[in-house]
């Protein structure tokens, strides 16, 4: 599949073409394996690189100067070097690092003490994620298409059978209103 | 400015749809109106969170795309050996392959295989045309009414159906026998239902997919409920001070022996380094959606008799109802409504996808795991073994 065609399809919301990007995975795998990484490391890095690529295409910031394969490989190389540097630093101070980063249990011989309350405390992620999950399927799909995928209102109107871009925008604003009504302003603003 | 215009401006500002002048004007207004500033900050946080949520969903979908890629690669290898989609030489099933190596003998083999396939297809069609034409005449006549489906009706036209799913791209014909059969089905009369009876409510189930992950862990077998499509490679097991930890994507979960189904609560950010393989493996089973949590759906389902396996969504007692016909005796049909919008019929090991836009008797379309991820969520559970790694 031609690079330009794939990018055009992604811009039009045909995400399915992402699977064709995986033909570049073996190239990344061999490079990562030759640089002390595993196949799983390669897959994880490659998925991250796809996300970076997809976001760039989505935001209209992808430059056509290089081939997609070159772009993905460059991201993976950069990420892997960063990971290796981090690993080296971690090993230096490994004795001090507890499994739970940023949390010293002071209980190196026993099991980590985590109460059920601690596990179920609402955090930023679960609080807002639950609020989004409680929206109707259609609202979730519209917000995902409009905000995360940054699709044009015309495309959204077509995809969700709205009369025109203006009614698609109205729906998006309605869905956002529903979301705002589900959460507490004070709590959201207190989050990082 | 009224509330609606404020929200509209905030949205256009955050979505980057304003031009430079509009942006300046809006920023000036924000700086002078604390209430708009407050709303803008609030919305910014929500947009950011939708990005995070969308990213998590995308990661999940990437796993599916990877699985689709692996499946297609397996298929490619079975078909033509070394495959690459970069440089088309042979086209089949909407994909292109490059045959690497010296082109003359590879192309020779490809041409030979193609020739052989064509000969087999012609032979197959000739053999089957007679049989299928005799099947065209229905043998049962005791039904209430007969209805001839218009061959041009898109609801019954599988090729059109596929075209829509492909975003308007015409689906290449996969094989001549399949096409012949589809034509035969279209030209057959589709029967109406008779003697309809209500399917018990307990057989009509509403499920969400994916669900929050849950587990049981007994007799060395870890069963995960909630998402049967998790790629096994994304699951890792660790022992930390004797306790078992499961990693899935970026999340970690403690797994304690339990016979009851417990939710998997993510432990937050963990850093795992220096893992050593242990001489221990654990069997994992990904339970299919039929084993997961469900509620009763309020969709009414009626079952009637019919010489063919057909379905239709029709209005009954003022409500939209599903009517099924011609199902085999003795099978306990189960209807699943997934996420309130996608409908499936499960008959033993067979899965059928039901299109709720169908409002006249239409032949049931069976799907399977090889062609549809939707079918895989209902089919047999996947079982595999994962090695356990020791961590500090």
Name the pLDDT band for A96 (thresholds 50, 70, 90).
low
CB-closest option in A91, A111, A180 to B46: A180
Lowest average pLDDT, out of A50-54, A150-154, B113-117, B298-302, goes to B113-117
pLDDT in tens, A14-24: 888 998 999 99
- Asked whether the beta carbons of A183 and A128 are under 8 A apart, the reply is yes
| DSSP one-letter code for A25 | H
Task: Report which listed range, A12-16, A93-97, B96-100, is most confident.
Answer: A12-16
CB-closest option in B68, B241, B340 to A19: B68
Name the pLDDT band for B73 (thresholds 50, 70, 90).
low
Tell me: pLDDT of B166 over 80: no
Assigned token pair, B292? 């997961």
Tell me the C-alpha distance between B96 and B78, whole Å.
15
What is the structure's pLDDT at B21?
92
- If one counts every other C-beta atom within 10 angstroms of the C-beta of residue A178, the result is 15
pTM for this predicted structure: 0.42
Tell me the C-alpha distance between A165 and B314, whole Å.
32
CB-closest option in B7, B85, B240 to A23: B85
Q: How close A34 comes to chain B (CA, Å)?
A: 19
pLDDT in tens, A68-80: 998 899 889 888 9
Average pLDDT over residues B4-23: 90
| DSSP one-letter code for A13 | T
Tell me the C-alpha distance between B193 and B198, whole Å.
13
Segment (H or E) for B343: strand B342-347
Assigned token pair, B28? 């000036």
A20 contacts B11? CB cut-off 8 A? no
Average pLDDT over residues A12-41: 89
Could you tell me which of B333, B373, B330, B371 has the C-alpha nearest to residue B350? B333
Task: Report which listed range, A90-104, A139-153, B304-318, is most confident.
Answer: A139-153
DSSP β-ladder status, B204-207 and B334-338: parallel
Residue A84 at interface with chain B, using a CB cutoff of 8 Å: no
pLDDT in tens, A129-140: 888 988 888 999
Q: In chain A, pLDDT over 70 holds for what percent of residues?
A: 80
- Asked whether the beta carbons of A13 and A145 are under 8 A apart, the reply is yes
Average pLDDT over residues B313-323: 83
What is the structure's pLDDT at B192?
67
Task: Report which listed range, B134-148, B202-216, B269-283, B363-377, is most confident.
Answer: B202-216
Average pLDDT over residues B51-56: 87
What is the structure's pLDDT at A169?
92
CB-closest option in B46, B69, B242 to A19: B69
What is the structure's pLDDT at A25?
92
Using a CB-CB distance cutoff of 8 angstroms, which residues of chain A are in contact with residue B74?
none
Residues 118-177 (A) with a CB less than 8 A from some CB of B? 119-120, 123, 125, 128-129, 132, 137, 143-144, 146-150, 169, 172-173, 176-177
What is the structure's pLDDT at B32?
92
Count residue pairs from A and B with Cβ separation < 8 A: 133
Using a CB-CB distance cutoff of 8 angstroms, which residues of chain A are in contact with residue B11?
169, 172-173, 176
ipTM for the whole complex: 0.75
Average pLDDT over residues B126-153: 35
Using a CB-CB distance cutoff of 8 angstroms, which residues of chain A are in contact with residue B231?
none
Tell me: pLDDT of A86 over 90: no
What is the structure's pLDDT at A141?
92
Q: What is the residue-averaged pLDDT of chain B?
A: 71
**Could you give the angle at which helices A39-58 and B34-80 cross, rounded to 10 degrees?**
130
- Residue B389 CA: distances (Å) to CA of A39, A88, B386: 16, 20, 10
Assigned token pair, B239? 């022992």
Tell me: pLDDT of B350 over 80: yes
Q: How close A176 comes to chain B (CA, Å)?
A: 9
Query: Does residue B216 or residue B112 have the better pLDDT?
Result: B216
Residues in a beta bridge with B44:
none
Residue A95 at interface with chain B, using a CB cutoff of 8 Å: no
- Cα torsion A46, A48, A49, A55 to 10°: value is 150
Tell me the C-alpha distance between B237 and B259, whole Å.
19
Q: Give the HSE-up count for residue A8: Cα atoms under 13 Å, Cβ half-sphere.
A: 5
Q: Search chain B and give the residue with CA nearest A137.
A: B339
Tell me: pLDDT of B127 over 70: no
Name the pLDDT band for B84 (thresholds 50, 70, 90).
very low
- Asked whether the beta carbons of B344 and B351 are under 8 A apart, the reply is yes
Q: Search chain A and give the residue with CA nearest B8.
A: A173
- Residue B300 CA: distances (Å) to CA of B40, B206, B297, B314, B362: 45, 12, 8, 10, 18
Which of A18, A48, A158 is best to mutate for the B interface (most B CBs within 10 A)?
A: A18
B391 contacts A137? CB cut-off 8 A? no
Average pLDDT over residues B275-299: 87
What is the structure's pLDDT at B38?
92
Q: What is the residue-averaged pLDDT of chain A?
A: 80
Tell me: pLDDT of B226 over 80: yes
Name the pLDDT band for B33 (thresholds 50, 70, 90).
very high
What is the structure's pLDDT at B11?
92
- Residue B60 CA: distances (Å) to CA of A47, A51, A57, B57, B119: 10, 11, 19, 5, 43
Residue A86 at interface with chain B, using a CB cutoff of 8 Å: no
What is the structure's pLDDT at B324?
92
Average pLDDT over residues B72-101: 40
Torsional class of B73: left (φ above 0), alpha (ψ -120 to 50), beta (otherwise): alpha
3-state secondary structure of A52: helix
Lowest average pLDDT, out of A143-147, B39-43, B111-115, goes to B111-115
Could you tell me which of A64, A56, A23, A29 has the C-alpha nearest to residue A44? A29
Name the pLDDT band for A168 (thresholds 50, 70, 90).
very high
What is the structure's pLDDT at B112?
47
Residue A54 at interface with chain B, using a CB cutoff of 8 Å: yes
Tell me: pLDDT of B65 over 70: yes
Average pLDDT over residues B352-379: 81
What is the structure's pLDDT at B26?
93
Average pLDDT over residues B122-151: 36
Alpha helices (H) in chain A, listed in sequence order: 3-11, 25-34, 39-58, 68-92, 116-120, 124-133, 137-143, 153-159, 165-182, 185-190
What is the structure's pLDDT at B173?
37
Q: Search chain A and give the residue with CA nearest B339.
A: A137
Residue A97 at interface with chain B, using a CB cutoff of 8 Å: yes
Tell me: pLDDT of B335 over 80: yes
Tell me: pLDDT of B61 over 60: yes
B268 contacts A180? CB cut-off 8 A? no
- Asked whether the beta carbons of B177 and B128 are under 8 A apart, the reply is yes
Average pLDDT over residues B251-272: 83
Tell me the C-alpha distance between B385 and B283, whole Å.
4
């Amino acid at each position: 599949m031609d690079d330009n065609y794939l990018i055009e399809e992604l811009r039009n919301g045909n995400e399915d073409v992402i699977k064709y990007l995986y033909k570049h995975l073996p190239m990344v795998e061999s490079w990562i394996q030759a640089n002390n990484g595993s196949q799983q490391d390669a897959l994880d890095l490659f998925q991250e690189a796809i996300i970076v690529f997809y976001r760039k295409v989505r935001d209209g910031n992808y430059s056509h100067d290089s081939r997609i394969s070159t772009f993905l490989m460059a991201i993976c190389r950069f990420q892997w070097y960063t990971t290796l540097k981090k690993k080296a630093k971690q090993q230096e101070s490994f004795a001090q690092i507890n499994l739970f980063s940023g949390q010293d249990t002071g209980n190196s011989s026993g099991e980590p003490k985590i109460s059920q309350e601690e596990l179920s405390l609402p955090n930023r992620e679960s609080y807002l994620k639950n609020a989004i999950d409680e929206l109707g399927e259609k609202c979730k799909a519209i917000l995902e298409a409009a905000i995360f995928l940054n699709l044009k209102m015309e495309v959204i109107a077509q995809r969700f059978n709205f009369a025109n871009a203006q009614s698609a925008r109205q729906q998006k604003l309605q869905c956002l209103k529903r979301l705002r009504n589900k959460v507490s302003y004070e709590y959201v603003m207190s989050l990082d | 400015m009224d509330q609606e215009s404020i929200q509209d401006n905030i949205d256009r500002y955050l979505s980057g749809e304003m031009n430079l002048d509009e942006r300046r004007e809006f920023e000036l207004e924000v700086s002078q109106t604390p209430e708009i500033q407050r709303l803008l900050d609030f919305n910014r946080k929500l947009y950011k969170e939708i990005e995070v949520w969308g990213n998590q969903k995308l990661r999940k979908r990437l796993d599916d795309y990877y699985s689709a890629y692996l499946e297609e690669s397996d298929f490619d290898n079975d078909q033509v050996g070394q495959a690459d989609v970069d440089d088309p030489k042979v086209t089949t099933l909407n994909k292109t392959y490059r045959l690497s190596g010296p082109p003359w003998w590879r192309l020779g083999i490809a041409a030979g295989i193609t020739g052989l396939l064509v000969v087999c297809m012609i032979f197959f069609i000739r053999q089957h045309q007679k049989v299928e034409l005799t099947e065209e005449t229905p043998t049962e006549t005791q039904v209430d009414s007969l209805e001839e489906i218009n061959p041009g009706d898109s609801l019954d036209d599988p090729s059109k159906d596929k075209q829509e799913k492909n975003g308007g791209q015409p689906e290449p014909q996969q094989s001549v026998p399949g096409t012949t059969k589809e034509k035969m089905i279209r030209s057959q009369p589709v029967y109406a239902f008779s003697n309809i009876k209500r399917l018990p409510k307990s057989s009509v189930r509403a499920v969400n997919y994916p669900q929050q992950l849950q587990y049981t862990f007994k007799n060395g077998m870890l069963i995960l409920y909630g998402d049967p499509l998790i790629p096994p490679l994304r699951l890792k097991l660790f022992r930390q001070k004797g306790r078992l930890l499961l990693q899935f994507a970026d999340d970690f979960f403690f797994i304690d022996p339990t016979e009851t189904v417990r939710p998997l609560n993510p432990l937050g950010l963990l850093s795992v380094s220096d893992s050593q393989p242990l001489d221990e493996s654990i069997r994992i089973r990904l339970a299919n959606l039929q084993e997961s949590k469900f509620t009763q759906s309020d969709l009414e389902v009626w079952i009637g008799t019919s010489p063919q396996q057909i379905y239709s969504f029709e209005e009954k007692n003022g409500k939209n109802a599903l009517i099924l016909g011609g199902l085999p005796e003795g099978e306990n049909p189960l209807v699943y409504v997934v996420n309130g919008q996608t409908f499936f019929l499960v008959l033993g090991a067979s899965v059928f996808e039901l299109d709720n836009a169908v409002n006249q008797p239409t032949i049931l379309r069976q799907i399977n795991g090889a062609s549809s991820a939707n079918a895989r969520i209902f089919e047999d559970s996947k079982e595999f073994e994962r090695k356990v790694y020791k961590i500090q």
